[in-house]
Amino acid sequence: MTKTEGLMKSLRTLVLAVLAIVMIAPVVLTVTNSLTTEQEIGLNYGAIGRLDAGENTFVNLKVIPDKVSLEQYAKVLTDTPQFLFMFWNSVLVVLPIIAGQVVVASLAAYAFAKLRFQGRDKLFLVYLLTMLMPFQVTLVPNYIIADRLGLTNSQAAIILPGIFAAFGVFLLRQFMMHIPYAYIEAAKIDGAGQLRIFCAIVLPMVKPALAALVILLFVDNWNMVEQPLIFLQDAIKQPLSVYLSRINEEARGVAFAASVVYMTPMVLLFLYAEPYFIEGVQLSGVKG
């Protein structure tokens, strides 16, 4: 390695380290502030209102609190039953979407990738166009359909469109395209039908793609805000993502603790399935 190459490598490492610090800093501040008393948070962040008024002051961003306290978590988990109720609302919305889309997307992807029928590629292109449309374009038609089916103010109005979203089909289809036809032909010679080929051969080979799909679906649907606000009029039916936006300025400590609890499932899921996620995205050809 020449001196110039070494210098460029060091520069790239430095730039990536700075970007990593910038990305992780809000998460670190959220966790540390969740362990801070409400009084200290008021002293540290009370200047925000004065900043808006044009006063010459500053916000004290402290990484290490003066006094570690769990009072904010106690308020969230014991004194705020609405938080836990809406947490389970999120679970009851997200899990059916993930389970349903994994089943539907895997079957549809297998058909688009390995079954030969007339108009297959053209149909997939039309199917893919629905994924490229902005969410706001399909929101009104989805609401009209849900209203005519009597699903408004019901979690089914969110779950059903989520199950039949096109992204999962695209991701799994790209992965299945890498499976050689020789495996399928060999199974057919042994007398296996399409269902057995799909379950015994294709599914075990696409586990990394399935893991990547589960993570992406969980993050996307766990953070949904627009759909619950539009389809669910009753606040008691809305998920936790909507609740976090309603915490007022007088409960900043509760907001930090609630945010930590809210993001914990996503972090744990990603840490557990990170190797499968990276492999699945790489082999599917999807670029982040």
Give the whole-angstrom CA distance, residue 52 versus residue 150: 45
In a domain, 68, yes or no: no
pLDDT at 256 (0 to 100): 84
- 111-132, pLDDT tens digit by residue? 998 888 888 888 888 888 888 8
CA angle 137, 210, 142 (to 5 degrees): 20
pLDDT at 67 (0 to 100): 79
Which CATH number goes with the domain that contains 197?
A: 1.10.3720.10
In a domain, 81, yes or no: no
- 161-198, pLDDT tens digit by residue? 889 888 889 889 888 888 888 888 888 888 888 888 88
In a domain, 35, yes or no: no
User: Would you say 210 and 102 are in contact if contact means Cβ atoms under 8 Å apart?
Assistant: yes
Give the whole-angstrom CA distance, residue 115 versus residue 186: 15
Q: How confident is the model at residue 102 (pLDDT cuts 50, 70, 90)?
A: very high
Give the whole-angstrom CA distance, residue 280 versus residue 210: 7
In a domain, 59, yes or no: no
In a domain, 5, yes or no: no
1/269: higher pLDDT: 269
User: Given a cut of 90, is residue 100 above it in pLDDT?
Assistant: yes
In a domain, 97, yes or no: yes
Give the whole-angstrom CA distance, residue 137 versus residue 155: 21
Q: How confident is the model at residue 65 (pLDDT cuts 50, 70, 90)?
A: confident
In a domain, 95, yes or no: yes
In a domain, 217, yes or no: yes
pTM over 0.85: no
Give the whole-angstrom CA distance, residue 240 versus residue 259: 10
Name the residue range of residue 192's domain: 91-243+267-284
pLDDT at 107 (0 to 100): 93
User: Given a cut of 90, is residue 249 above it in pLDDT?
Assistant: no
Number of domains in the chain: 1
Q: How confident is the model at residue 97 (pLDDT cuts 50, 70, 90)?
A: very high
